[in-house]
Structure 1
Amino acid sequence: MAAPDLLRSPFRMVRSRGMQKTDVISPSLRVREECERRMMRYRSDIDGLRALAILPVVFFHYGLKHPFNGGFAGVDIFFVISGFLITRHIHDAVEQDQFNILDFYHRRIRRILPALFSVLFVCFGVSTLTQTPPEVYNTSRGILWSILFASNIFFYSQSSYFDSSLQANPLLHTWSLSVEEQFYIVIPFLIYFSKKFFKIPLKYMVFSLLVLSFSACFVEIFQDKPATFYLPQYRAWEFLVGSAVMLATQPAVMARSRMTKPVMESFGAIGIIFILVSLVALNNKSLFPGPGALGPCLGAALVLYSGSWHRTVVASGLSCRPLRFIGLVSYSLYLWHWPIWVFFSMYDRPNAWTIPLLLGAAFGVSALSWRFIEQPFRTRPFRLSAKSTIGVMGGIMVVTVLLAFASSRLNAILWHYSPAEQKVMSYMAYKPATMRTGTCFIDRKTEDIEAYKAAHCLDVQAGKKNYLVLGDSHAADRWYGLQQSYPDINFLQATAPSCEPVLGKNGGQCGALLHYIFEVFLPSHHLDGVILSANWLEHDFNGIVKTAQMLGQYTDRVIVLGPSPEYDQPLPLLLVRAMVKNNMALVFNHILQDRKKRDQNLAIRLKGTGIEYVSVYNILCPDTVCLTTVNNNVPVLFDADHFTAEGSVFLAGNMHLFDQTHSNAGRFLPH
């Protein structure tokens, strides 16, 4: 019933003790009563919105990123939905003096822990029986911090620029669940105390915290991007957007607003457009989750708001049976899809044939988990009292913690590794000190241009040839090999994370570093050469040419180092698995094929420009097989694409850039 229809009959006949009287009901009160009735109904469109959130996340994690390059933003949609639903539940209970904190956490425990426990137990078993000791250690820590709902903090502490092993942790995705649970700890007290003690309207508190959290996120994303991704204070604004929508759909507010159906239809359509555009447009270079998260969050907010009053076209579309079912199993699907992918990837790189099978397995296991784990524990006969539930689940948590601590010891009993395997395995904990991190390579955690020691890193020495190594981490790891292989040459270093050395880079510390090099240092120092190296992408190619042409006025030579071979997992990890199974195909199946094509395209683009090009890919992969170790089982790479010290020396010695080479240059031969 539309709002105008409610205004036509403002009178209601009421019989009391045999007498008839006429009650005059104000139009606004009738609208408010209708709002309350609508607020109580089941919102099937929210299940559909959950499906719209989970599907891009799963597709993104399973390598199906086109066209949804920003599939990771589905998590932000979940945060908005959670903020909306939880705030509504707590707010309504507090308003009716029926809120009980024990009952609230009882509901959350039944909703979250049973399915989570099942995933953790499976991860414990598979990890202990099949993974290498470093992997078991990382998985066990993931289990421990996940069950304590602090895995976001743990993974943030591990998120250094070179820690690619995080992607091989089957519990990595639980960071978002931990952020959500941390919100659930705070929001009940926020609502309760604002109502009962502070006497502050909840809307003012929610709005103030929302602005504060978003502002902090906007500032911090330029300083420490992983912090804004993992830590709750920078994600809280997304939940609070949902809380704000809940407050905006309260009956009293809706009665005053009198939004018409066409307006609500427009809001719903705009919301869906915001979500879809965000999923397509966002990528790993976006300012996310700061400004980049506004699109999916505002889109989800508009969809939730528009469906609170009218049955819009968008709400009807989201309520279709397939989307509703996916939404119902979305929690289990989120929990199970990532471990399935990680454990399968241990043995083979998923491809066009196996990815559909993995998707089918993820959906099948999730449906079973929803039916036989989630549902029984949310209803009878497994619906225990609050105290019993907390006691049982607390005991299972203790058992899970003990299993996490025991997994490494059990794995050591089951498996024994040769000295060669142990040597390769040790490189899984490799620390790249030779890159001069924090001095000449600015680390992300301390990403401040002031940390760059220009006097040391750009020390031009008279009587020697001076070459500047400029770029990102793929320049920093090459510097050591060049310096060791050619000691008669002085190699300067200016490097920063994700810093392609091309003109037009204006943002962040990379922009500040390049501005200093291009505008201050080079015009005042004539160098013998500049070596540009980075994880080049196709859109960088024209910028490389323009930059090299500009550099020609300050230096005698401009040398571009091409992209290196890259794997989808750390090379030492792949090597250990291959050595244990005596099957090197386990390594080569995981190499990313697009790097070779990118190398070839860059060589073609630079041909005839006068720019010297070194194909790093051809040095490491002269034939159909790529070099993986040097100098008696030392991995060439310590992660997926960065060189060890020995690998860097081998690479530099085989570049043949200079007339004289150091006698050690050829010492690190393929093994």
Structure 2
Amino acid sequence: MYHFEFPGISGGFIGVDVFFVISGFVITGLLTRQMDQGGFRFGDFYARRIRRLVPAFLLVSTVTFLIISPFYIGDDYYIFAKSWLASLMGISNLYYFTELSQYFAPETRSLSLLHTWSLAVEEQFYLLWPAATLWAWRSGQLTRSPLVFLALLIAALLLSVYLAHTHPKAAFYLPPARLFEFMLGAGVALYGHRLPTLGPRQAEALAVAGVAMILATAVFLTSNDPFPGFNALWPTLGTAMVIQAGLVQPGTVTARLLSLPVMVFLGGLSYSLYLWHWPPVALLHYQLIELTWPIRLGLLAAVLLASWLGYKLVENPLRRRPWNFKRAFKILVLVPLLIIWAIQSTIRIADDLSFRIPEERRDLYKIIVQNDSADVHEPCFKGPTRDFVRDQACLFGQPLAEGERPDSVLIGDSHAIALIGFMEVFLESTDLSLLMVTQASTPFIPGELTEQAFPGDEEKIVRNRALTEYLKQEPMTVFISAWWNSYLRSTDFHDYFVATIDWLLDQGHRVVVLEGVPELPSDAHAQCRLKGLEDCSIDAADAAEQRRDFNRFQRDVQARFPSVNWIDPSRVLCDAERCQTVLDGIPLYRDESHLNYIGAQEIGQAFRARFGNPLEPLKALAADSGTPAP
């Protein structure tokens, strides 16, 4: 329901954590019973896990691959193939942690196998827990040391709290921050019988309190709260309480409700439901289809049907096959791994779009996907950090004679280079020469300030030091841009940028701030026309809200430095109601916040047609003041 965007369930993602407790309880109970009976074998344990988990995953992931193939394009298709391989290997949490930590990370809501990160965490638990349990059982620690177990549990919880606050992405995707959740379930399995006996009323109160803790967290927690850490303790402790109450008093009202046929039926389908529920939601997000009430209810019905069929035809029959570990691994893991690897390699090396994108939309695809300014002008973005490229590859406008310096420079990060097409339109009709110096995630901040802004990031510091020395040589017109909406959320960066403009003016430069363009609701929205939608505009009120921090920065700069000039590309995109993301049939963006190269040129053409060339007044001002012309 959380993923289907049912209202009022803002913390529904805690279902994963509830499951981890149940898994810890079930697996630990299974292991200790087998060890007590002398029947535990690692090979048998992992053979059962493979037969239990892999067949349903292969079914769902293969159907997902076939369904998304006509829709997912470019890197999105390749990312699915990589995640497919990682999911079968049981490392999708590591893959997503790495992939989503990158600067140009994909949009999570469109990742069809994103939900398998939690399956990977569970599988990694299976790798460690049986060996740890066997060691504790053989040494007698399982029965002798509940206090040691409790101390380890508290330590695991404190580690989760620490990671949730200091490394939130690692805490979310990696096992250490979730270990205490499995241990809560394991603790009930190991020591629940040693806790004080509960009467029916006490057990009922414990169970009701546990359910209340789970539901309250699902309703009141939001994705903005630190997680897991203490916020994950309440639903997981509540789950352990419900299990414990059911063990000592199976006749409570809560236990009877959880034992109703419909609940048992859903419990039986729970793994299939988990696998099937997310891929259709991801596809709908990718296609920019809103989850209305009819769609939500239709999804519920479709997922229930698919889960039941998958359970009856694939999951349940194959889990009962008497295959040993070697055979199960070969049939269900090794052979599919080779097939998926071959599919991934084919997509990477020779992905033929002709059968997946209608011919009339292929030109749109090329504009969006194959016109990244950072690729078109790669030396100006991915060149050497210290000795940045200063030759013709990164010079625009008027050609320069040997040894001659440009009279202007464009500096900043990926959002700066995304505007080079916009700038080229204006440079065409002037005698200006412009050098572009950009680098990913590296807005210009001069001198010692850059060490404060990017502590320990040597690449950014070296680039900004080199650019600082270059800008000290003689006055120029400096066009400066950055991902304003992101950096200016920080008051520190607000101050850094104000100080940067102060420093540039102090060096005698004429400063021109290139403002940003409205950000899209998602990366997928950049492909709106490619998906066949007619209206690709976004709400102007949302765009105005995005600019709130930038507007404060602009007011502060204008008050202190009235000579600074501003060029706003969004003037041709937004009116009082809507902001356009397509002009004259040309898609303007390549992702959520970056223009594509042709789209930037299109905005430049529209800007010049409506408002004239913004560089001409700057040149006139420079001539009147006797400073070097831009």
- TM normalised by structure 1 equals 0.64
CA contact (8 A) 1:123 1:170 kept: yes
1:22-61 equivalences in 2 (<5 Å): 59-61=1-3
Q: Does 1:95 align with 2:40?
A: no
Quote the Cα distance in structure 2 between the aligned partners of 1:397 and 1:420.
35
Query: Residue 92 of structure 1 aligns to which amino acid in structure 2?
Result: R
Q: Does 1:389 align with 2:332?
A: no
Q: Does 1:422 align with 2:376?
A: no
- Cα pair distance change 1:98/1:364, threshold 3 Å: same
Q: Give secondary structure in 2 for the equivalent of 1:61.
A: coil
Q: Does 1:323 align with 2:328?
A: no
Quote the Cα distance in structure 2 between the aligned partners of 1:639 and 1:130.
16
1:279-298 equivalences in 2 (<5 Å): 279-298=218-237
- Cα pair distance change 1:419/1:245, threshold 3 Å: same
1:234 is matched with which residue? 177
2:414 is matched with which residue? 433
1:492-507 equivalences in 2 (<5 Å): 501=489
2:434 is matched with which residue? none
Of 199, 214, 224, the residue aligned with 2:157 is: 214
1:310 is matched with which residue? 249
Quote the Cα distance in structure 1 between the aligned partners of 2:86 and 2:114.
10
CA contact (8 A) 2:16 2:118 kept: yes
Quote the Cα distance in structure 1 between the aligned partners of 2:581 and 2:275.
34
Quote the Cα distance in structure 1 between the aligned partners of 2:414 and 2:614.
24
Q: CA deviation at 1:332?
A: 0.6
Quote the Cα distance in structure 2 between the aligned partners of 1:563 and 1:413.
32
- Cα pair distance change 1:307/1:198, threshold 3 Å: closer
Query: Residue 175 of structure 1 aligns to which amino acid in structure 2?
Result: W
1:145 is matched with which residue? 86
Of 393, 398, 401, the residue aligned with 2:337 is: 398
User: Structure 1: which 5+ residue stretches go unaligned?
Assistant: 1-58, 465-486, 502-509, 529-558, 666-671
Q: CA offsets, 1:30-78, max 9 Å, x none?
A: xxxxxxxxxxxxxxxxxxxxxxxxxxxxx222222x2011111111111
- Cα pair distance change 1:422/1:276, threshold 3 Å: same
Quote the Cα distance in structure 1 between the aligned partners of 2:500 and 2:516.
26
1:454-465 equivalences in 2 (<5 Å): none
Quote the Cα distance in structure 1 between the aligned partners of 2:237 and 2:245.
12
- TM normalised by structure 2 equals 0.68
Q: Does 1:86 align with 2:86?
A: no
Q: CA deviation at 1:310?
A: 0.8
User: Structure 2: which 5+ residue stretches go unaligned?
Assistant: 376-412, 417-438, 446-450, 504-512, 559-566, 619-630
Query: Residue 198 of structure 2 aligns to which amino acid in structure 1?
Result: M
1:560-575 equivalences in 2 (<5 Å): 564=518, 566-575=520-529
CA contact (8 A) 1:103 1:386 kept: yes
Alignment: residue pair count: 518
CA contact (8 A) 1:440 1:495 kept: no
- Cα pair distance change 1:564/1:348, threshold 3 Å: closer
Quote the Cα distance in structure 1 between the aligned partners of 2:237 and 2:272.
25
1:535-546 equivalences in 2 (<5 Å): none
Q: CA offsets, 1:595-617, max 9 Å, x none?
A: 746858999xx9xxx999x9998
CA contact (8 A) 2:368 2:590 kept: no
Q: Give secondary structure in 1 for the equivalent of 2:218.
A: helix
Of 260, 271, 276, the residue aligned with 1:336 is: 276
CA contact (8 A) 1:241 1:297 kept: yes
Q: Does 1:450 align with 2:455?
A: yes
CA contact (8 A) 2:367 2:598 kept: no
Query: Residue 189 of structure 1 aligns to which amino acid in structure 2?
Result: A
Quote the Cα distance in structure 2 between the aligned partners of 1:215 and 1:663.
61
Q: CA deviation at 1:308?
A: 1.4
Q: Does 1:167 align with 2:106?
A: no
CA contact (8 A) 1:164 1:570 kept: no
Q: CA deviation at 1:226?
A: 1.2
- Cα pair distance change 1:597/1:399, threshold 3 Å: closer
Quote the Cα distance in structure 1 between the aligned partners of 2:533 and 2:335.
41
Query: Residue 564 of structure 1 aligns to which amino acid in structure 2?
Result: P
Query: Residue 361 of structure 1 aligns to which amino acid in structure 2?
Result: A
Query: Residue 290 of structure 2 aligns to which amino acid in structure 1?
Result: P
Query: Residue 640 of structure 1 aligns to which amino acid in structure 2?
Result: E
Query: Residue 570 of structure 1 aligns to which amino acid in structure 2?
Result: A
Q: CA offsets, 1:630-666, max 9 Å, x none?
A: 7995x54342345568878959x979xx99943599x
- Cα pair distance change 1:262/1:659, threshold 3 Å: farther
Q: CA deviation at 1:394?
A: 3.5
Quote the Cα distance in structure 1 between the aligned partners of 2:372 and 2:296.
27
CA contact (8 A) 1:145 1:154 kept: yes
CA contact (8 A) 1:128 1:411 kept: no
1:637 is matched with which residue? 589
Identity over the aligned pairs, expressed in percent? Answer: 24
Q: CA deviation at 1:112?
A: 0.5
Q: Give secondary structure in 1 for the equivalent of 2:222.
A: coil
CA contact (8 A) 2:10 2:218 kept: yes
- Cα pair distance change 1:454/1:394, threshold 3 Å: closer
Q: Does 1:108 align with 2:49?
A: yes
CA contact (8 A) 2:2 2:9 kept: yes
1:195 is matched with which residue? 137
Please give the root-mean-square deviation of Cα atoms over the aligned residues, in Å.
Answer: 4.8
- Cα pair distance change 1:305/1:72, threshold 3 Å: same
Q: Give secondary structure in 2 for the equivalent of 1:307.
A: helix
Q: CA deviation at 1:228?
A: 1.0
CA contact (8 A) 1:169 1:342 kept: yes
1:247 is matched with which residue? 190
1:63 is matched with which residue? 5
Quote the Cα distance in structure 2 between the aligned partners of 1:526 and 1:348.
40
